[in-house]
Structures are given as C-alpha cells and as structure tokens.
Amino acid sequence: MPNIEKSRFRFRVIPFIATALLVALGVSLGQWQDRRAAEKLSRQALLTERSSGAPFVLGPQLREPAEMEYRKVSVAGQFVADYPLFLNNRPQNGKVGFYLVMPFKIAGSDTHVLVARGWLPRYTGEYDRLPEFGTPSGTVIVEGIARASMGKVMQLGEANVLRPRAILQNLEPAQFAAATGKPVQPFFIEQSGPADPADKLVRDWPAPALGADKHKGYAFQWYALAVMALLFFITTGFRRGTNANRT
C-alpha cells in the first residue's frame, strides 16, 4: 500500500500573535466603518424627512442645532449689511471663490442668525480684493435649509480676526456671538431660491456629502483583511507541519 502522509498543523507563537493582531484590527476597523455607514444612512433619512416638510418659521428663541439640522426654515428680519464675512477656499465649477455669510437680525428681537447667501468668485492673484455684491434693504423673508456647519477647510497659520469684511477659512456661530456680544442661533441658514441678479451671487449649494456606500466598501476591505490573515496562518501552518514530517 502506498505511504499516505498525514498533514499536521504546526503551531508557532509569533505568527499566531501577528495573525491575532491583524484579525482584531480588521474586525475592529470593519465594525467602525459599519457604524459610520449606519450613521450616514441615519443622516440621509433625517435629511429626506426634514427637507420635505413645510418650512419652520424661525423666531428669536434659540434652537438646538440637532433639532434644526437639514430643516427648511423661514425667517423675517433684516440683513446686517455692514458685517459681511467671506469663507475662503470654496470652489464652484472649477473656479475659486467665497461663500458670502451675513448676520441676519430676526424681526422684533436682538437675536441674529448667520445666513449663507451664496457664492462669489475671487479675483485671481488679488487675495485682499473682495468681490462686489448687493444686499436687500429693509425687512425681508429669507428661506433656506438649516445647517450646523458650512464645512471645514484646512487652516494654515493663524485665523484672521473675525470682523466686518473678514476673509475666513472657517466660521462657527459661537465665534460670531463671542465677537459681537449678540445672541446668535447656533446654526447657519443656507439660503435657497434664485438669487437676485443685482446681488451677483451664485446659489448652487453642493449636496451634503454622506457617502454611506464608501464606508460599507471600507468595512468589506477590513473584514477581508481579517479573513485573509486567518487563512494565511492556517495554510502556512499546515505546510510547515508537512515539511516537518518529511525531515
């Protein structure tokens, strides 16, 4: 009868430890990406639900950002025309430019809300030159979407002082409240609807980047790493065991 060689698994401590670490890392990071995907899906559902409802009429009472995020809002009041702020490094259609943000005094109160009015192009090579724009006077009604943030860009060096006509990389309502001493709603209004041609604004806001599918893909890659590490440990263990039998 032919001699049938039995395969044996040869356990080695160092490869086992390395494999255990890789499996733990892959599973942990895969689960983290799964949680991120679930969070993004939850936000997507919230955005769909809130953006389809009737506008919330915003008054002077301060609201929580989580309560207002993605909600349609309508507010009456006046723009503070002498306090424009320019959020830098906000490209649109391949062109560099700013988001124009202005405080809006809510009618019948001293409470303000920061309104992102639209996009303005930036003069190439002239950092300090600000674009021209128009601002409606008197009491107006602004409609838009409440946003907890207007996005973050990398801040190189010290941030500019928050003052009228400042060029800023990033802005939070709390900063404006601290600089002016005024009560401010803790969110922005991303103004919707067509802009008046006289205002020279482009109002074409990018959709919120949720990207749940991206996180699902990353989760799959991490889980695959864990499985591959385990399979590699098992197969190489049997090969070493077979080689040991032959010697």
Higher pLDDT, 133 or 94: 133
Q: Ramachandran region of residue 193, left (φ > 0), alpha (ψ -120 to 50) or beta?
A: left
The pTM of this model reads: 0.70
Higher pLDDT, 246 or 99: 99
Assign 247 a pLDDT band (cuts: 50, 70, 90).
low
Q: Which amino acid is at 184?
A: V
Distance in angstroms (rounded) separating the CA atoms of residues 89 and 121 = 10
Q: Could you tell me whether strands 184-191 and 140-147 are parallel, antiparallel, or unpaired per DSSP bridges?
A: antiparallel
Q: What pLDDT score was predicted for residue 81?
A: 94
Give alpha helix (H) positions in 63-170.
65-68
CA dihedral 65, 71, 75, 79 (to 10 degrees): 60
Assign 102 a pLDDT band (cuts: 50, 70, 90).
very high
CA dihedral 180, 183, 59, 79 (to 10 degrees): 0
In 3D space, the residue among 125, 164, 168, 117 whose CA is nearest the CA of residue 144 turns out to be: 117
pLDDT at 63 over 60: yes
Q: Is 25 exposed, middle or buried (0-12, 13-18, 19+ CB in 10 A)?
A: middle
Give ∠ CA 170-173-179 in degrees, rounded to 5: 90
